[in-house]
Amino acid sequence: MIGGGKDAFIGAVHRLAMNMDGQVELVAGALSINPDIAVESGKMLFLDEDRIYTDYKVLLEKEAAMPADKRIDFVSIVTPNFVHFPPAMMALEKGFNVVIEKPITFTLDEAKQLKVKLEETGLSLLLCHTYTGYPMVKQAKQLVKSGALGNIRKVYVEYPQGWLSTFLEKTGQAQASWRTDPKKSGKAGCMGDIGTHAFNLAEYVTGLQVTELCSNINIVVEGRMLDDDGAAFLKFDNGATGVLMATQIAAGEENNVKIRVYGEKGGIEWKHEDANTLLVKWLDKPTEIYRTGGGYNSSFAAHNTRTPAGHPEGFLEAFGNLYRNFALTVRAKIDGEQPKDEWLDFPGVEEGVRGMAFVENVIESGKSDVKWKEFIV
C-alpha cells in the first residue's frame, strides 16, 4: 500500500475491504510521506520491519528485486490525486498490478499514458468506483443490458453532499484541505471528487457513453479555489439524454447517490440510502421491487451478494467486492486461467480515462460561453 497511514480515512477503508474475503494479505507499505508516521503505521499493521518503507520508490525497487514467491502481486495506491500517476506508472514498469483511487490521475494525459503502459504489460488495474460494487447496481446493469427496458431514452444521476457547506478547509481539516487545493486535486473539486462517481455510474449502468455535455460549474463558498457545486446536461451515443448533478454544499445531505434510467418499456431506480433495493418501473404493470439476496437476480448480482436476503450490505461490502473480483482475476491470470466474466466486472483504466475526460470536459464547458461541447477523450 502506498499512502493510507494511521490518520488517513480511505486507507483504512481499503484495508477493511481487502481483508474481507481472505484473498489479500497486506505485506508491505510506504504509508506516509512523513517517515515517522510511515514507520509507526507499518508497525501498527504488524508489517515486517524490513517491508515498512518511507518512500514508495524504494518500496517498488526492493519489492521488485525479491524472489517471485515473496514479492508483492499488486500495489494499492490511496494517496491524493497528485500522487496517483508516478507510483502507478512505476509499479506497472516493475511488473506489478495496480489498485488505484479515483480519479485515476491528475490529468487526462497521465490517464492515457497509464492505459498505454497497461496494454504493453498485460497487467491488471482496478479503479475504485465503489458504487459499481453494489449487488443491485450490478442487477440494474444486467436488466438494462438484457433489453428488458427497451431502448434507453433518459438518464438522471445525482450525488448530493453537504460536508463542504462551510469554508472547512480554513480549519485545517485534512480531507477538505487537499480536495479543495488545485495543486493537489487538479482542475476540479466537487466534479473530480464525486461528479466522477456519478458520471461513472451513469455509463456503467446504461452501458452507454457520453458524447456531448453542457455544464454549469459553481464555487458557492466564498474563498474556495475549486468548484463545490455543478450540473450537466448529457447526450449519449444512442441518442438518449441525461442530467447529472453533483454538489458538496447541500447542507444536511450525506452521500445519497441516486440513479434513474428510463427506456421505452420501463425504468429503474437505485439510491444509496436504500442500497439493497432496486425499483423496476413498468409502463403497463405495477412496479417491481428487487432485493439483494433474491433468487431471481442475475449471476453478477448473486456473485457480489455476501449475506442472506434481509441482511444489509453496504459501502464496505461493495468495496470488498471490488477487491475480491480484482484478486480473483489477478490470481487466475497468474495461474494461466481465464477469469470468469463476473470476476472481470470491475472498473479499470478505460473508466479511468473517461473519468478524467469528464473532468476536463465538464470544467471546460462550465467556463465557456459556448456551453454544449463534444465529449473529447
Cell triple for 80 = 491524493
Residue 30 pairs in a beta bridge with: 2
Cell triple for 316 = 464496505
pLDDT at 33 over 90: yes
Cell triple for 113 = 499514458
Of the candidates 287, 250, 254, which has an alpha carbon nearest to the alpha carbon of residue 269?
A: 287
CATH of domain 135-309+351-367: 3.30.360.10
- Residues 334-352 pLDDT 10s: 999 999 999 999 999 999 9
| Average pLDDT estimate for 115-120 | 98
Cell triple for 11 = 486507507
- Phi, then psi, of 125 in degrees rounded to 5: -135, 130
* CATH architecture, domain 9-123: 3-Layer(aba) Sandwich (3.40)
Mean pLDDT of all residues belonging to the chain? 97
- Residues 176-218 pLDDT 10s: 999 999 999 999 999 999 999 999 999 999 999 999 999 999 9
- Concatenating the DSSP letter of every residue in 235-275 gives EETTS-EEEEEEES--TT-----EEEEEESSEEEEEEGGGT
The pTM of the full predicted model, rounded to 2 decimals, is 0.96
| Average pLDDT estimate for 13-32 | 97
Cell triple for 318 = 461493495
pLDDT at 171 over 90: yes
Residue 243 pairs in a beta bridge with: 156, 233
- Residues 243-284 pLDDT 10s: 999 999 999 999 999 999 999 999 999 999 999 999 999 999
CA angle (157, 163, 166) in 5-degree steps: 125
Residues 6+ apart with CB under 8 A from 113: 85, 89
pLDDT at 141: 98
- Residues 135-153 pLDDT 10s: 999 999 999 999 999 999 9
Domain boundaries, the chain: 9-123, 135-309+351-367
pLDDT at 370: 87
Of the candidates 195, 130, 83, which has an alpha carbon nearest to the alpha carbon of residue 347?
A: 130
What's the CA gap between 205 and 208, in Å, rounded? 8
In angstroms, what is the C-alpha Rg of the chain? 21
pLDDT at 371: 85
Residues 6+ apart with CB under 8 A from 111: 104, 105, 349, 352, 353, 355, 356
Which whole-number Å values give the CA distances from 130 to 29, 64, 197, 220, in the listed order?
Answer: 22, 29, 8, 27
pLDDT at 7: 85
- Residues 34-80 pLDDT 10s: 999 999 999 999 999 999 999 999 999 999 999 999 999 999 999 99
pLDDT at 190: 98
pLDDT at 133: 98
